[in-house]
Amino acid sequence: MTKTVEQFKDWWIKSGRPIRPPFKNCIHTTDIAYSLCLYREGQYQVELYVCKPGTESPMHSHPNVESISMYLTGDLSFSDSQGKFADLSAYQCPAQDGSHMLLGKTADRNHGTPHALKTGLRGGSFLIFEHWLKDNPSSVTTHWEGEYVGPMHAKTVEAKHVV
């Protein structure tokens, strides 16, 4: 396989975006989002997140997971390690081909550093490319350090609510 999360992201895209959800640890839910593992190979995986409108996560991290998030659609943004969100309002519009202007744009690489997520009134979706450095891949939803987003998230983490 590859060596960095960037190389994995590039490989997955160049390979035609293969979809091969694993049988184990594939679907996870929280109070603000649903996730589906689209592809997993060894210590690498791609998760699709669909986030509810008007929500925000507390600051949190995913230790020993290197990741890159790729914007798909909707109104969402990621904070920096100080909890500051970039103003993306100028980019909340359609591109010439009818897709979202931010489609395919990536956030900075994250190596277990604190961050948060918030969505506007339309919600949002993104892909997250992950390289798990120590543990077997499951979901960054359950591999979470920080305050949970709500009681459903706490139950998911506690039970390793996996399908």
Q: List, for residues 14-46, the tens digit of each pLDDT value.
A: 999 999 999 988 999 999 999 999 999 999 999
Rg (CA), the chain: 15
| pLDDT digits 0-9 by tens, 71-128 | 999 999 999 999 999 888 899 899 999 999 999 999 888 998 999 999 999 999 999 9
CATH number of the domain bearing residue 63: 2.60.120.10
The verdict on residue 93 lying in a domain is yes
The verdict on residue 85 lying in a domain is yes
The verdict on residue 155 lying in a domain is yes
The verdict on residue 22 lying in a domain is no
Identify the DSSP state of 153: H
The verdict on residue 143 lying in a domain is yes
For residue 118, the enclosing domain spans 5-15+38-159
How many domains does the chain divide into?
1
The residue among 108, 140, 109, 152 whose CA lies nearest residue 40 is: 140
Distances 43 to 53, 133, 138 between C-alpha atoms, Å: 31, 7, 10
The verdict on residue 30 lying in a domain is no
* pTM of the full structure: 0.93
The verdict on residue 152 lying in a domain is yes
